[in-house]
């Protein structure tokens, strides 16, 4: 049953991703991208990564795609988009991309040197090296635990990343007026 | 269960020593307080903001120096393997602070000529400086990527900072798109490495596969794995984009030309330096097992970078593009040092030494450019430097010393920097690359001296009045004089810079 579901959702993801790339209409492309994201979220569910699946739908299929659609509508960008595979750089780029994909897939699954099947580790090791480990879970709670302990520093730095991005948006988009008190 | 969990989490937080990254925290706080100061201060006191930024950073520099002398300089891992502090990261801390102080100073000159928001510039420069420090300390790919993205996102903004100029916006857009693509390539490489190293079916696999030490062990035992190789190549390609090495240099001239001059200087010096330190850490750390596979690739790229940068710079008339293209050539020489560092261990310090001389000389040149530039910052042609040295004898001298040092003329610091790099390359047996580098240096002398000739010897018959305006205030002169003085001192007495042990 799980196998069948996997093939169904993987098919949906791949086909909608392909339509997204080759669709001449930008809005259709964006819609297909949403379907592709939802398909990926379903694959996450099959892997029992429920939290990741929720985030995938909320953040990517929800917030990010709404932003995309807004910009597409604002810029009215769906003209002159049918130059698919006509220019040589795009063609060369897609061939190189597929070649890389083939190499990676062969390395991972085909031939004598292919990678062994990965398996889930049932237990997390104790970082102090003493005492027993604790069972591995994929619940949202456990993400929070490691985010605020092990990954505290990157987490704090992300705050500064967002601050820099916010300052940037304000600086680049706001019209600056010279302060009146200044002698210039 | 709960007891066990708390014990478990305590194991992770045991090494969260915030005191170890006090200078970075201080910089972050300073950046925030600048934003608050702008809100609180009345209009007539707004000029305090840049001063606060510059003096605050000098304070942080003292703090960092104090931390080193207080005996914290030994190697240590903190934040459960997120960062690793070594003597190199302590040196780079001072390096980044020095360059961000100079960028703030140049920024002050630049912003006085433009009608642009001011405070945000300094805040972003400080955030970049703190993130660069964390970037060179990172010992885990999560930390590495977050620090790198903080730097890059802030640079996207700084490059497009002059929103009234078409060139700046164009540069910002180009940098944004190409930078995002390079980040994607880098991330893909990291993910491949993570996936391979986290596979329990392989030897030496790890549950913490993004940690450099764990990854080093894994790659040593799995050097033949195609996924590991492709992952390492993609990571290196992402870093090559940041340092502007040959196949990934396409953004350099446009972005360097369009960005405000202080930002160009910051990109050319600090961002590139961080790229090289990270590259060395990766090549000597996690990817050491792949040396046989990576060294030929790196060598070809280094040679191509040197030749491309120098040849393309010969025909340039815009001085900002010229600095960008010659910066590509410098990246090539540094890559030779990086390759040498795989077999000669002191070559790491030779690279840092070269970076310091490059910092001093570049900021001298960019400082003069900042003073000379009119309000249209992207348009700085060589023609504007006609008879420059006779109009402004002091600035002309600074320019000549800076360019001479970049070209590697004997009594100046740049010569010693190149000498150390080439000696390291010789000891490592990289004769072919050495030959290419020397050809590159000869070409570079041609275009650097073309600029000097323009400023000293163009139309010597014409009478020129010395012109006091635009020559810079006493403090500008003091700063540029100090940079030149340091360049000369390093050139005469290399021991004055205690980097090479």
Give per-residue pLDDT as tens, B86-145: 888 888 989 999 999 999 999 988 888 888 888 889 999 999 999 999 999 999 999 999
pLDDT reported for residue B463: 55
Per-residue confidence (pLDDT) for residue A183, from 0 to 100: 39
Model confidence pTM above 0.80: yes
Q: Give per-residue pLDDT as tens, A142-178.
A: 888 888 888 899 999 999 999 999 999 998 888 777 6
- What are the tens digits of pLDDT across the range B169-227? 899 999 999 999 999 999 999 999 998 888 877 888 787 888 898 889 888 888 888 88
Q: What's the domain range around B419?
A: 13-496
Among A75-89, B371-385, B399-413, the range with the most confident prediction by mean pLDDT is B399-413
Mean pLDDT across B404-412: 86
Structure tokens at B431: 């004769």
Residue with the bigger pLDDT between B372 and B364: it is: B364
Whether A2 contacts chain B with CB within 8 A: no
Q: What would the DSSP string read from start to end of B85-97?
A: E-HHHHHHHHHHH
Nearest to B156 by CA among B174, B143, B144, B135: B174
Q: Tell me if B433 sits within 8 A of B336, measured CB to CB.
A: yes
B260, pLDDT greater than 80: yes
**SS3 at position B203:** coil
Residue B259 φ/ψ, nearest 5 degrees? -65, 150
Tokens of B29: 């706080």
Evaluate whether residue B383 is within a structural domain: yes
A149 neighbourhood in chain B, CB within 8 Å? 9, 12-13, 16, 80
Nearest alpha carbon to residue B64 among B86, B31, B97, B17: B97
Distance from CA of B9 to the nearest CA of A (A): 7
* pLDDT score at A181: 44
Q: Would you say residue B349 lies in a domain? A: yes
**CA–CA gap between residue B168 and residue B179 (Å, rounded):** 16
Residue B335 lies in a domain: yes
CB contact under 8 A, A160 and B150: yes
**Of B17-31, B34-48, B70-84, B334-348, the least confident:** B70-84
List pLDDT tens digits, range B415-440.
888 999 999 999 988 899 999 999 99
Please tell me the distance from the alpha carbon of residue B49 to that of residue B34, in angstroms, as a whole number: 6
Q: How confident is the model at residue A182 (pLDDT cuts 50, 70, 90)?
A: very low
Question: Is residue A100 less than 8 Å (CB to CB) from chain B?
Answer: yes
Q: Which chain B residues are within 8 Å of A165, Cβ to Cβ? A: 153, 157
Tell me how close the Cα of B299 comes to any Cα of chain A, in angstroms: 23
Task: Please report whether residue B318 resides in a domain.
Answer: yes
Specify the number of domains making up chain B: 1
Asked whether residue B52 is domain-assigned, the answer is: yes
Residue A14 Cα distances to A19, A33, A40, B246, angstroms: 9, 10, 9, 35
pLDDT 10s digits, A41-54: 999 999 888 888 99
| Phi, psi of A47, rounded to the nearest 5 degrees | -85, 5
Query: Is A172 close to B12, i.e. CB distance below 8 A?
Result: no
Minimum Cα–Cα distance from B150: chain A residue: A161
Report the gap between the CA of B155 and the closest CA in chain A (Å). Answer: 9
Nearest chain A residue (CA) to B6: A145
**Confidence at B465, pLDDT banded by 50, 70, 90:** low
In chain A the domains, ranked by start, together with CATH numbers, are 1-77 (1.20.120.1200), 123-173 (no CATH)
A115 touches chain B (CB under 8 A): yes
Does residue A102 sit at the B interface (CB-CB below 8 Å)? no
Task: State whether residue B78 is helix, strand or coil.
Answer: strand
Please give the pLDDT value at position A77: 64
Integer Cα distance of B127 and B32 in angstroms: 9
B8 in a structural domain: no
CB-based contact B82 A131, cutoff 8 Å:
no
Task: Give φ, ψ of B322 to 5 degrees.
Answer: -60, -45
């Amino acid at each position: 049953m799980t196998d069948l579901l996997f093939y169904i959702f993987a098919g949906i993801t791949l086909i909608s991703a392909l339509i997204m790339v080759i669709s001449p209409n930008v809005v259709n492309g964006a819609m297909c991208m949403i379907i592709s994201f939802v398909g990926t979220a379903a694959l996450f569910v099959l892997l029992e990564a429920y939290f990741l699946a929720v985030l995938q739908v909320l953040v990517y299929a929800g917030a990010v795609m709404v932003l995309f659609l807004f910009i597409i509508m604002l810029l009215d960008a769906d003209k002159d988009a049918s130059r698919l595979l006509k220019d040589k750089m795009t063609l060369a780029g897609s061939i190189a991309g597929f070649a890389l994909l083939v190499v990676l897939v062969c390395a991972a699954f085909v031939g004598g040197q292919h990678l062994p099947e990965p398996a889930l580790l049932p237990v997390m090791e104790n970082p102090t090296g003493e005492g027993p480990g604790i069972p591995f879970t994929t619940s949202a709670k456990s993400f929070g635990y490691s985010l605020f302990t092990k990954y505290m520093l990157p987490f704090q730095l992300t705050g500064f990343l967002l601050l820099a991005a916010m300052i940037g948006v304000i600086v680049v988009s706001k019209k600056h007026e010279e302060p009146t008190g200044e002698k210039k | 269960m709960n007891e066990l969990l708390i014990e478990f989490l305590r194991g992770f937080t045991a090494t969260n020593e915030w005191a170890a990254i006090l200078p970075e925290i201080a910089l972050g706080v300073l950046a925030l307080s600048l934003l608050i100061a702008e809100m609180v201060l009345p209009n007539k006191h707004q000029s305090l903001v840049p001063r606060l930024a510059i003096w605050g950073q000098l304070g942080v520099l003292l703090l960092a120096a104090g931390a080193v002398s207080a005996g914290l300089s030994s190697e240590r891992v903190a934040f459960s393997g997120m960062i690793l502090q070594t003597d190199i990261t302590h040196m780079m801390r001072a390096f980044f602070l020095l360059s961000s102080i100079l960028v703030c100073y140049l920024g002050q000159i630049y912003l006085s000529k433009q009608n642009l928001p001011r405070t945000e510039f300094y805040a972003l420069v400080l955030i970049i400086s703190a993130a660069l420090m964390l970037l060179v300390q990172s010992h885990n790919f999560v930390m590495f990527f977050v620090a790198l993205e903080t730097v890059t996102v802030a640079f996207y903004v700084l490059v497009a900072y002059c929103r009234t100029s078409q060139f700046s916006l164009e540069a910002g857009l180009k940098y944004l798109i190409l930078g995002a693509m390079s980040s994607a390539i880098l991330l893909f490489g990291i993910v491949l490495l993570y996936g391979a190293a986290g596979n329990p079916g392989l030897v030496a696999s790890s549950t913490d596969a993004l940690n450099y030490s764990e990854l080093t062990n894994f790659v040593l035992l799995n050097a033949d794995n195609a996924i590991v190789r492709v992952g390492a190549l993609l990571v290196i390609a992402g870093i090559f984009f940041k340092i502007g090495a040959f196949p990934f240099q396409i953004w350099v001239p446009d972005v360097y030309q369009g960005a405000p001059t202080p930002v160009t200087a910051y990109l050319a010096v600090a961002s590139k330096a961080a790229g090289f330190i990270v590259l060395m850490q990766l090549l000597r750390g996690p990817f050491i097992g792949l040396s046989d596979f990576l060294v030929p690739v790196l060598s070809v790229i280094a040679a191509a970078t040197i030749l491309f940068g120098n040849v393309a710079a010969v025909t340039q008339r815009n001085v900002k593009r010229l600095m960008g293209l010659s910066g590509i050539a410098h990246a090539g020489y540094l890559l030779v040092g990086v390759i040498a560092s795989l077999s000669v261990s002191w070559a790491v310090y030779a690279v840092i030494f070269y970076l310091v001389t490059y910092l001093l000389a570049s900021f001298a040149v960019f400082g003069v450019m900042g003073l000379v530039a009119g309000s249209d910052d992207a348009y700085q042609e060589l023609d504007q430097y006609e008879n420059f040295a006779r109009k402004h004898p002091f600035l002309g001298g600074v320019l000549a010393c800076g360019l001479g040092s970049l070209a590697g003329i004997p009594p100046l610091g740049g010569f010693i920097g190149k000498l150390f790099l080439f000696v390291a390359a010789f000891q490592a047996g990289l004769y072919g690359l050495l030959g290419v580098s020397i050809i590159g240096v000869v070409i570079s002398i041609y275009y650097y001296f073309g600029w000097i000739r323009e400023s000293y010897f163009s139309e010597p018959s014409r009478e020129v009045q010395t012109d006091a305006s635009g020559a810079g205030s006493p403090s500008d002169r003091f700063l540029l004089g100090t940079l030149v003085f340091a360049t000369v001192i390093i050139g005469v007495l290399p021991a004055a810079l205690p980097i090479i042990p």
